[in-house]
Amino acid sequence: MANYRGHLGGAVVVCAGYVTAATFLPIDWAVKTGYMLADWQLVAGLFVVAMLFGLWPDIDTNSKGQNIFFGLAFIANIGLLASGRIEASAYLGLLAMTPIIGKHRGWTHSKIAMFLVPAPILILPYLYNKEYLVPALLIYGAALMGYFSHLLLDGLIFKRFRIKGGW
């Protein structure tokens, strides 16, 4: 089982592979995706999202990961409130509170949660403004990769690939 540094590092490595792969997508919106990935701010944002979701399953317990996650979520929430995005702030707050519903290494460490927890990233643009669906797909992918890296390092994807004692 990795510690918070291991989960952050794992999320960065997996996200780097994801961003690299996304630049070579062989589908029609790859041109638009490639153009967006040329923006360093979006790429940096994808890494931040992956790192947050790499820590997210462990925020149900008092840990360094919990402190990092809630510190960044707090700053993001202040930014959302300052820019008048009250609804987005509420969604972020709701997402941040969900780990307390259950025990440690419970539902937050499941494969289905890996897909469902970041789902609002896709659902909200689909419901409110489809123009943002392609960037939302990129962000969802980064969240999924961060979450995947956490489960992978905890040995919940492949039992043999478990980091004992942390990184």
Q: What band does 29 get if pLDDT is binned at 50, 70 and 90?
A: low
pLDDT per position as a tens digit, 43-95: 888 888 998 899 888 887 887 878 887 888 899 999 999 999 999 899 888 87
pLDDT per position as a tens digit, 135-155: 888 899 999 999 999 999 988
Is residue 158 a part of any domain in this protein? no
Dihedral sign for Cα 49, 11, 133, 114, please.
negative
Is residue 167 a part of any domain in this protein? no
* CA–CA distance, 34 with 99 (Å, rounded to integer): 34
- Residue 47 is part of which domain span? 4-153
Is residue 105 a part of any domain in this protein? yes
Is residue 147 a part of any domain in this protein? yes
pTM above 0.85, yes or no: no
More confident position, 112 or 124: 112
Q: What is the mean pLDDT of residues 89-108?
A: 83
Q: What is the mean pLDDT of residues 121-135?
A: 86
* Percent of the chain topping pLDDT 70: 86
Quick one: pLDDT at residue 167? Answer: 47
Is residue 26 a part of any domain in this protein? yes
Quick one: pLDDT at residue 95? Answer: 79
Quick one: pLDDT at residue 162? Answer: 55
Is residue 137 a part of any domain in this protein? yes
Quick one: pLDDT at residue 24? Answer: 72
Closest Cα partner for 61 from 95, 109, 13? 109
Tell me: pLDDT of 28 over 80. no
Is residue 113 a part of any domain in this protein? yes
Quick one: pLDDT at residue 105? Answer: 78
* CA–CA distance, 160 with 152 (Å, rounded to integer): 10
| 3-class SS of residue 11 | helix
Q: Could you tell me how far CA 85 lies from the centroid of its own chain?
A: 20
**pLDDT mean across residues, the chain:** 83
Is residue 161 a part of any domain in this protein? no
For the chain, the domain total comes to 1
Tell me: pLDDT of 27 over 70. no
